[in-house]
Structure 1
Amino acid sequence: SPGDGPPNIVLFDYQQGSRAGHCPKQFLQDYQGYLQVDGYEAYTQTDATLVGCMAHGRRKFDEAAKSMPKGKTGKPQWAINHIKKLYRIETLHKDSTPEQRYAARQQQAKPLLDAFKTWLDKAAIHTPPKSKLGIAISYCLNQWPKLTRYIGDGRLSIDNNRAERAVRPFAVGRKNWLFCNTHTGADASAMLYSLVETAKANGLTPFDYLHYLFKELPSLKPGDDLDHLLPWNFANG
């Protein structure tokens, strides 16, 4: 629940040569809480309760709008504008308590989502499924239970943009990973990125935090408590 445990953790995991369903299943084990993801099918093999990402749906309608002839973006633009209304509700209540956010979503977002679903069902009938617009519509319909799950819990987010921001350094540095030619090196990279991104997520300067770690770690013995080394404790210390 909010207020329990550390506020922000970014954790990377290396899996050898695969993105198959057994990878998240192995990593999460018997975890049955919420897991916010895009539409990648492998996550369905976990025991988690999947929450969708509205930003992915919006992005597909953006792509559909760009593919339309000039002046013919009516349907994609309608969907984009409708999704903007959902985000406006989130912006208005970003500082609210989870209970207040839940109530606002039930009162304001649910009717918008119901109207969006009705529009998607009708639009799917008259749209070629392999067109950019058809792909956007199909994505939202296939993901609908997951896309709307966020309104059922005020702690959830409408999208997983926070996670995408955390993995962006990996995408930016992708060519560098050609030189991580051992599994040990890849594991080490995942660990270091976890430390750096968690430090950033807790408002720390990574250099300062890593300097603190390298200063403190040599004085510790096996079995010593490590809680004081965690980023959120350093931030609050």
Structure 2
Amino acid sequence: MPDSMTCGCGAERHMIGEDTSERLDIIPAQFRVIVTRRPKYACRSCTNGVVQAPAPARLIPGGMPTEATVAHVLVSKYADHLPLYRQAQIYSRQGIDLDRSTLAGWVGKAAYELRPVFDALMADLKSSTKLFMDETRAPVLDPGKRKTKTGYFWALARDERPWCGAAPPGVAFTYAPGRSGQYADDILKGFSGILQVDGYAGYNRLLKRVDDRVALAYCWAHARRKLHEVAQSGTAPIAEDGLKQIAALYRIEKDIRGLAPEVRLAARQDQSAPLIAAFEEWLTTNRARLSAKAPLGEALKYIAKYWDGLCLFLTDGRIEMDSNAVERTIRPIALNRKNALFAGHDDGATNWGVIASLIETCKLNSVDPHAYLTDTVTAIVAGHKQSQINDLLPWNYAK
């Protein structure tokens, strides 16, 4: 308000309009204590005993945290990449003393209760006929040896959005103590269809299956990377020519993204197939001219080795040209690995995979991970039926 509403002429001023401005303010996270009162009742006319309403179910029996508090710890650790010791420091600044081991206990209990939801997620993914798979390191503390051992997260992902598929996107991370293709085979038990992967040889054992047949589609991004590395190291006109041909294929893919599989397939047969034929001739010619031990020769050898799988996208409109969809889901794992350095033990790595799977699937389906985990854990501790566990999957929560 002005200092005075009276004009210099003596008349009263009247509002003729207003200016508005907005500023962004923040209220730091606050803790509150929720008190649950359960009165006890008894009859004064007899001695039939005392009655009292049962205590509400809790994730941590007799513990302090609400389900929302535990969900906040999970999201901070696995979505925002804040290790538990940093979270403990943040809470300490607000006068709440929580030891890292206490927080770790909450995480373990939550992962245990969420395991059936993870299993349902994995089963739903494996019911599809087109999936992606990749693996990434998972350092784990090796008790008694004062060092870490290298385990792996195997990521199984589904993303049908590029071809308007009906199934929602999702990803599941399974921890395994090694990188043997046997682990991929075990994870994919019950899956039949097309699996899009990089050039790791461990996946070849999937081709030897008698039941649950799997076809491997390979990744053009990895093939391109081989040529790009050669082109970056110096003058390499052959590598640059190969990169231009691959870029032409990707331009076609950009135009048909989001269309139905049959439309994508028709466009590929009409536009991409001639480019692939020309690329194959270019590949054969240059491999004959170059030493197989030269960097460029090794790059061309890699492409030739996986040629059939690289060309599989010409036969099915559901196949992508690369496996970038699953590699994007792995990036948060790498960030968490960088900040937390390692998992405390194998069970901790397994818990990491369970919770990260649900959080990343939430992100893929535009679901708030904190709200989802809070409501899902609350439903589980309240006795949600195992027969209706699919109702707790992130995409069903979104509905």
1:184 to 320, 328, 347: 347
Structure 1: where are the runs of 5+ without partners? Answer: none
- Aligned twin of 1:61: 227
Residues of 2 paired with 1:125 and 1:162: CA distance?
Answer: 34
Counterpart check, 1:38 vs 2:198: yes
Code of the aligned partner of 2:169: N
1:100 to 263, 274, 284: 263
- Aligned twin of 1:228: 391
Q: What's the offset of the Cα at 1:204? A: 1.8
CA RMSD of aligned residues (A): 1.8
Q: Please give the TM-score of this superposition, normalised by the length of structure 2.
A: 0.55
Q: Which has the larger radius of gyration?
A: 2
Residues of 2 paired with 1:82 and 1:30: CA distance?
Answer: 38
Residues of 2 paired with 1:216 and 1:178: CA distance?
Answer: 33
Q: What's the offset of the Cα at 1:32? A: 2.7
Compared with structure 1, are the counterparts of its residues 4 and 151 closer, same or farther at alpha carbon in structure 2 (3 Å cutoff)?
closer
| Residues 86, 109 of structure 1: 8 Å contact kept | yes
Residues of 2 paired with 1:230 and 1:167: CA distance?
Answer: 20
Compared with structure 1, are the counterparts of its residues 180 and 155 closer, same or farther at alpha carbon in structure 2 (3 Å cutoff)?
same
Counterpart check, 1:162 vs 2:325: yes
State the secondary structure of the residue aligned to 1:141. Answer: helix
Cα deviation 1:36-75 (Å, max 9, x = unaligned): 000000001014210000000111111010112xxx3311
- Aligned twin of 1:8: 169
State the secondary structure of the residue aligned to 2:268. Answer: helix
Residues of 2 paired with 1:135 and 1:227: CA distance?
Answer: 47
Cα deviation 1:143-199 (Å, max 9, x = unaligned): 100001011111111100010000111222224565413221111111011101111
- Aligned twin of 1:151: 314
- Aligned twin of 1:52: 218
- Aligned twin of 2:188: 28
1:127 to 268, 290, 306: 290
Residues of 2 paired with 1:113 and 1:5: CA distance?
Answer: 30
Identical columns (%): 36
Q: Please give the TM-score of this superposition, normalised by the length of structure 1.
A: 0.91
Q: What's the offset of the Cα at 1:21? A: 1.5
Counterpart check, 1:91 vs 2:257: no
Compared with structure 1, are the counterparts of its residues 96 and 222 closer, same or farther at alpha carbon in structure 2 (3 Å cutoff)?
closer
Structure 2: where are the runs of 5+ without partners? Answer: 1-128, 130-159
Q: What's the offset of the Cα at 1:25? A: 1.1
